[in-house]
Amino acid sequence: MNTNFKISAIFLVLGLTAMSAQAVEFGNGNTLNDNPTTKAFKALDTDNDGTLTYSEAKADKTFAKGIRKADLDNDKTLDEKEYSDYKSKVQTAETKRIYSDSSITTKTKAKLLKEEGFKGLQVSVKTNHGVVLLSGFVDTEEQIKQAEEIASGIEGVKSVKNSLVVKKS
């Protein structure tokens, strides 16, 4: 029983030592447990004053054009909250756009594959910012028009660039 007590005491001391070391790290402001946005903010804060000047923030491409939108208190600097809120907003919007583009591409390809005469054809579909690009080869001019109509009918499509070509016989 005495041995078990000694082992428990050793583990307790080791655990407290580890917690104490983490507390020291936290108290020193070290980046041991910082999230990626906090780490990025600290890396950009070259003068270590806890705020980013416009020139410091512009090193992050997210802020190259929208820095004034991020500066909510109009003090010509960004604190960590302004930085992380704006960065999160931009990243969320970009993620939604990518998801929307992927969804448009998938729906267009699925509808093309369901259509008679398209199954064996090499038609590429790519979407960027809601603009669908159709490319590849089809058998007839009618298929070129039909593919464009299908793509245009998908929700979220802004326009279609049709680069399909009729195969030469």
Write down the pLDDT at residue 16: 53
3-class state of residue 92 by DSSP: helix
Is residue 47 a part of any domain in this protein? no
Q: What is the mean pLDDT of the chain?
A: 84
Is residue 133 packed enough to be buried (19+ CB in 10 Å), middle (13-18) or exposed (0-12)? middle
- Structural domain tally of the chain? 2
Domain extent at residue 24: 1-33
Query: Is residue 9 domain-resident?
Result: yes
Say whether pLDDT at 124 is over 60: yes
User: Is 66 inside any structural domain?
Assistant: no
Taking the C-alpha atoms of residue 4 and residue 1, their distance in angstroms, rounded to an integer, is: 5
**Model pTM score:** 0.66
Residue burial 112-122, b: 16+ Cβ < 10 Å; e: rest:
beeeeebeebe
| CATH code assigned at 120 | 3.30.1340.30
Residue 141 falls inside a structural domain: yes
Lowest mean pLDDT among 27-31, 72-76, 95-99: 27-31
13 pLDDT band, cuts 50/70/90, is low
pLDDT tens track for 130-162: 999 999 999 899 999 999 999 999 999 999 999
pLDDT over 80 at 52, yes or no: yes
Average pLDDT over residues 90-118: 91
Residue 62 lies in a domain: no
Q: Is 77 a domain residue?
A: no
Tell me if 89 is assigned to some domain: no
Which pLDDT does position 162 carry in this prediction? 96
Q: Determine, yes or no, domain membership for 80.
A: no
